[in-house]
Structure 1
Amino acid sequence: MTIWVLLAVLGAAFLHALWNALIKLGTSKVGAMVILSVAEVPIGLIIALPRPAIAPEAWPWVIAAGCTHFFYKTFLTFAYERGDLSRVYPIARGTAPMIVALFGAVFLEDAISAAQYAGIALLALGIGVMARGVFTDGESRRLLPFAVGSALATTTYTLLDGLGARISGDAIAYVAWVFVADGLIFSCGMALWKGRAVFPAAPRAWAVGSFASLASYGAYAISIWAMTVAPIAVVAALRETSILFAVLIGWLAFGERMTRDKAIAALMIVVGVIVTRL
């Protein structure tokens, strides 16, 4: 991996943490996520329409992934309403690869090495320390079920996307259509649930939400490009440095409390994810 690819992947990790921070920044977390979702639709269409049609068998996977993203975004939004970015993001982001690795070991034909089992154990310990901090630092304990719910949804759509992309015949077009389905399902679902008031009126909110959507796609696109020129496992592992970026953004930009245990737990989660993906 060249230094330029390394910097690009680190940039993608930062963009992923950034769009989460932008959602956290908004006074209405749900409204910010709705704007991000609305902006996903034209982004997805611009990418998908010029490409060959995906296989008809892939459309149920697109819809299933879009529905799963609804739960992912809902849980993540509610978690950010109840807790710090530097607390929620590592739990939500770190739990998912641990569950995927364990699921693959039990239900798929994926061999798990001793080092990867050690990584899973380190992940579990780091997440446990991070979750314990909620009880010891006086934060709202209600963030935990929503952060874990977001991780479970992430696990589900990761597995759906992996299988759906294989069936589609064109992974890029498949993901673009998932963007469209995701954007439509979440924005329409929230409009039906909470009414028209869920759409913020302030132009600044639309500007921030649209930028968050671009950052979300940029994080994905850079990662996919990097996987074409560098080892996939290495790119996937480096991308998880987004956890450290989220912790730093929460501390430096939002003034969130940074304790020694929180910093150690975040580092453990990052190392655990890297080990499980190498």
Structure 2
Amino acid sequence: MRSTPMDMLPWSLVLLSGIIHALWNLKVKQVNNRSLFLAVAYISAGVFMFPLAVVLDGFLIPAKAVLPVLLSAVAETMYVLALAKAYARYDLSFVYPVARGSGPLWATASGVLFFGERLPAMGVLGIAVIIGGILIISLKKEKGSLSALGLSLLIGFFIGSYSSLDRLAIEYTSVYSLLSWKFLVAGIILLAVHLREQCLWVNIKSNIKLSAMAGLFILTAYFLVVLAMKYSNLGYVTVGRESGIGFACLFGALFLKERIGGLKLAGILVLFAGIVILKLI
């Protein structure tokens, strides 16, 4: 059967989302003050989302959504701080796959523990394969590899945490208000962390255009996935979203001159296979 343009549309959208997500991570890896860069990016993302939130639901969130939104913003803040620390020390092609790959593990665990979900046998298999992929990636003995693994898994934990909290918040409020509030609060907290730094505003101004563009990229990557969900199965779309793992490794090799050996490549492929199994159950 020949594919039609509409058949290819969702895959094109999620692949583009993966490229954009990997691109803004590449830029974060390249700049110096990474958490400040993302503080401005998050505030920009919240501001970009603000008009939609106002027009569609008045920018108000119900009382039941306040706590999960605030906790999600805190988890997002911790994610940024851990990500900035990891990118300052370790390769993009190591941190990104392990962090993004372990995120679904934590999200699945929270679903079982807090949402009463049942994990079928294929889900257990998917988790085992993901863990196997992470272990293979970490087998390459390099200086600080154990610390890199621990920090990357911590980033994945924060990804799983804010994903689960977003899922809870979205039961009470719209995605527009959720994202606008969440990014604004997280950005302001991150900015507060840097308030005592010398030359703060000089540093902000030096990268403000790139930070604003990163904020736009963060939102665009998210909404491309949401749009793709209108045309394809949710499981396929969420798996396709993780194509960013491949693009991040490619960008690391091309632009950062990182070495992608056979062992790391094998681990990444195994990890991705585990994500496919876990997200298609």
Instruction: Give TM-score, length-normalised by structure 1.
Output: 0.90
SS of residue in 2 equivalent to 1:167: coil
Matches of 1:260 and 1:199 in 2, distance apart?
A: 44
Equivalent residue for 1:14? 19
1:145 Cα deviation (Å)?
3.0
Q: Which amino acid aligns with 1:208?
A: L
Which of 72, 75, 78 lines up with 1:68 in the alignment?
Answer: 75
Q: Are residue 42 (structure 1) and residue 36 (structure 2) matched? A: no
Whole-angstrom CA distance in 2 between matches of 1:28 and 1:176: 24
Structure 1 segments unaligned to the other structure (5+ residues): none
Asked whether the 8 Å contact 2:95–2:152 carries over to 1, the reply is: yes
Q: Distance in 2 between matches of 1:165 and 1:196?
A: 39
Number of equivalent positions: 273
Deviation at 1:139, TM superposition (A): 4.9
What is the rounded CA distance, in whole Å, between the counterparts of 2:201 and 2:144 in structure 1?
29
Give secondary structure in 2 for the equivalent of 1:228.
coil
Question: Is 1:191 matched up with 2:198?
Answer: no
In structure 2, C-alpha distance between the alignment counterparts of 1:208 and 1:139, rounded to whole Å: 30
Match of 1:171 in 2: 175
Distance (whole Å) between structure 1 residues aligned to residue 179 and residue 239 of structure 2: 20
The structure 1 residue matched to 2:124, chosen from 112, 117, 131, is 117
1:57 and 1:26, CA in 2 relative to 1: closer, same or farther beyond 3 A? same
Q: TM-score, normalised by structure 2?
A: 0.90
1:98 aligns with 2:105: yes
CA RMSD of aligned residues (A): 2.0
Q: Is the 8 A contact 1:62 1:174 kept in 2?
A: yes
Q: For the residues of structure 2 that align with 1:83 and 1:147, how far apart are their CA atoms?
A: 10
Instruction: Tell me whether 1:138 sits opposite 2:127 in the alignment.
Output: no
Identity %: 25
Identify the residue that residue 236 of structure 1 maps to in structure 2. 238
List runs of 5+ in structure 2 lacking aligned partners. 1-5
Provide the secondary structure at the position in 2 that maps to 1:266.
Answer: helix
1:23 aligns with 2:25: no
Q: Secondary structure at the match of 2:229?
A: helix
Residue 98 of structure 1 and its aligned partner are, at CA, apart by: 1.3
Residue 2 (structure 1) aligns with: 7
Once the 2 structures are TM-superposed, how far is the Cα of residue 217 of structure 1 from its aligned partner? 0.7
The code of the aligned residue for 2:68 comes to W
Instruction: Say if 1:86 and 1:256, in contact at 8 Å, map to a contact too.
Output: yes
Encode CA deviations 1:37-81: one digit per residue, 9 max, x unaligned: 332231232332212133222122211111111101000110101
Distance 2:191 2:42 in 1: 6
* Matched-pair contact (CA < 8 Å) for 1:62–1:181: no
* Distance apart, 1:100 and its partner CA: 1.9
TM-superposed deviation, 1:173: 2.4
